[in-house]
Amino acid sequence: MHHAEHHVHEEVDVGLFDRFSRPRAGRASASTGDAAYLANWARTHLGVEAYVEPQTTVTEVTVVLVAADGEWTRRKVGGERGARKLGEDLRIPVYDVRKTGYPQRMRDFDARRRIERRRERERDL
């Protein structure tokens, strides 16, 4: 009796693990965590714009929020509809990165970051 109970318990665990580890097709909703993170990020940065990145074979649709100073962040957004809804909810412009490319200020920000990190490494030597 005890052995059978243990076996059932194992099956439940495996099923649970499968559900979390295997991405289910068609589930194109951003997690509430991602949505809350993006909303908070947009509120705490100036001049935020959203750039929607297309789905690829390995990633869902993502959105990159870029602030006026070029600082940026990326999260899953629940498809292109999710990106448009995000823009409406946060009252920020939404661009399709395939049409517009990334803003120059984002590249400038990354370049400054690389220089700062290199200087820190050199200082630590």
Residue 54 tokens, joined? 């297309």
Element (H, E) at 76: strand 72-76
Sheet of 49-53: strands edge to edge?
Answer: 72-76, 62-66, 49-53, 94-96
pLDDT in tens, the chain (125 residues): 554 444 444 444 444 444 444 444 444 456 789 989 999 999 999 999 999 999 999 989 999 999 999 999 999 999 999 999 999 999 999 999 999 999 999 999 999 999 999 999 999 88
